[in-house]
């Protein structure tokens, strides 16, 4: 569903694709990324999904919920062994655990190595029964799922805008975009080299990254962004997530203001979901005595 965003100016027309409404829990692009992977896991007769993530990961939350809904055992390998004692204080991990996910906390060094052979739980289950999903859920089958975000009717847009983590979601969107469309990706992380994650899965060239709106990096707290999210919700009824989509929407609004888009441009923003992360972010905001995200 594409929802029009009214701007109070008719210089461009702006819409939001509500991928956040795809599923009540397995949100937005994480659902798209899992679809063909779950099919593959079933095809291979695997009964256990194993994956990796940080303490606030939308992907961990999505895999836990998908396992519960579609009948897989799930194992989440979590970065940071200090978190083991804090599950009840972390809404994402608590949700995953309550959904039946076995959480295995490992130190950051071991996490970087992604060496599953060390995990005690796998000595019991056996690696043969496991379908391993990479961190963030990004692989070729995930990209295939994200190729279904755009539908033929979306051809009328001139610009498609989405948030970028690994870039797999953007690659899927690029693959199904029309040649006359330009896909703009907004990295939510600080740094460079995000193009690599996209080149990996697409040969097309009608895209570019806009790196001016990462707000200091992944999951960094920014009162300016929180203010923006709360205003946006007030004006449109749409809740944005604090890690990805909010930065992209902030960027698009800023670029509209600065005249980046030609008069009459039709712009489609993709809401990739991730609302489960708000609770965890609000905990952090509360601890710093900052205004909370309204949702």
Ligand X SMILES: *Cc1c(COP(=O)(O)O)cnc(C)c1O
Binding site for ligand X (CB under 6 A): 28-30, 58, 136, 138, 163-170, 241, 244-245, 272-274
**CB 167 → ligand X: shortest distance, Å?**
5
**CB 277 → ligand X: shortest distance, Å?**
7
1 CB-contact burial (10 Å; exposed 0-12 / middle 13-18 / buried 19+): exposed
Residue nearest to ligand X (CB): 274
**Pairing status of strand 102-106 against strand 73-79:** parallel
CA atoms 111, 117, 122, 126: torsion sign:
positive
**CB 78 → ligand X: shortest distance, Å?**
16
The span from the CA of 187 to the CA of 281, in Å, is 19
Q: Is the CB of 22 or the CB of 50 nearer to ligand X?
A: 22
Q: Is the CB of 28 or the CB of 67 nearer to ligand X?
A: 28
Q: Is the CB of 218 or the CB of 260 nearer to ligand X?
A: 218
The span from the CA of 89 to the CA of 47, in Å, is 29
**CB 240 → ligand X: shortest distance, Å?**
9
The span from the CA of 166 to the CA of 41, in Å, is 22
Q: Is the CB of 122 or the CB of 197 nearer to ligand X?
A: 197
**CB 120 → ligand X: shortest distance, Å?**
29
CA 187, chain centre distance (Å):
11
**Pairing status of strand 159-164 against strand 130-132:** unpaired
Q: Is the CB of 68 or the CB of 247 nearer to ligand X?
A: 247
The span from the CA of 114 to the CA of 51, in Å, is 10
**CB 182 → ligand X: shortest distance, Å?**
18
- Identify the helix (H) or strand (E) that includes residue 249: helix 245-257
* Length of the chain counted residue by residue: 295
Q: Is the CB of 58 or the CB of 119 nearer to ligand X?
A: 58
Q: Does residue 219 contact residue 246 with C-beta atoms inside 8 Å? A: no
């Amino acid at each position: 569903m594409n929802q029009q965003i009214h701007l109070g100016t008719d210089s461009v027309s702006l819409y939001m694709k509500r991928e956040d409404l795809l599923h009540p829990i397995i949100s937005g692009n994480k659902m798209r990324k899992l679809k063909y992977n779950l099919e593959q896991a079933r095809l291979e007769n695997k009964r256990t999904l194993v994956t990796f993530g940080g303490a606030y990961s939308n992907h961990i939350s999505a895999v836990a919920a998908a396992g519960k809904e579609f009948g897989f055992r799930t194992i989440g390998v979590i970065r940071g062994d200090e978190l083991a004692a804090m599950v009840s204080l972390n809404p994402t991990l608590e949700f995953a655990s309550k959904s039946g996910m076995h959480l295995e906390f490992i130190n950051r060094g071991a996490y970087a190595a992604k060496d599953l052979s060390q995990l005690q739980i796998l000595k019991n289950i056996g690696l043969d029964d496991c379908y391993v999903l990479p961190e963030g859920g990004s692989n070729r089958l995930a990209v295939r799922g994200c190729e279904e975000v755009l539908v033929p009717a979306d051809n009328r847009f001139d610009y498609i805008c989405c948030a970028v983590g690994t870039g797999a979601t953007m690659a899927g969107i690029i693959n199904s975009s029309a040649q006359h469309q330009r896909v703009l990706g907004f990295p939510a992380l600080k740094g460079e080299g995000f193009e690599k994650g996209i080149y990996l899965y697409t040969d097309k060239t009608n895209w570019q990254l806009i790196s001016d709106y990462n707000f200091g990096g992944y999951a960094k707290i920014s009162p300016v962004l929180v203010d923006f999210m709360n205003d946006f919700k007030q004006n449109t009824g749409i809740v944005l997530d604090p890690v990805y989509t909010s930065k992209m929407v902030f960027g698009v609004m800023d670029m509209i203001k600065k005249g980046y888009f030609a008069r009459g441009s039709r712009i489609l923003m993709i809401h990739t979901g991730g609302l489960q992360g708000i609770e965890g972010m609000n905990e952090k905001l509360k601890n710093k005595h900052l205004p909370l995200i309204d949702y």
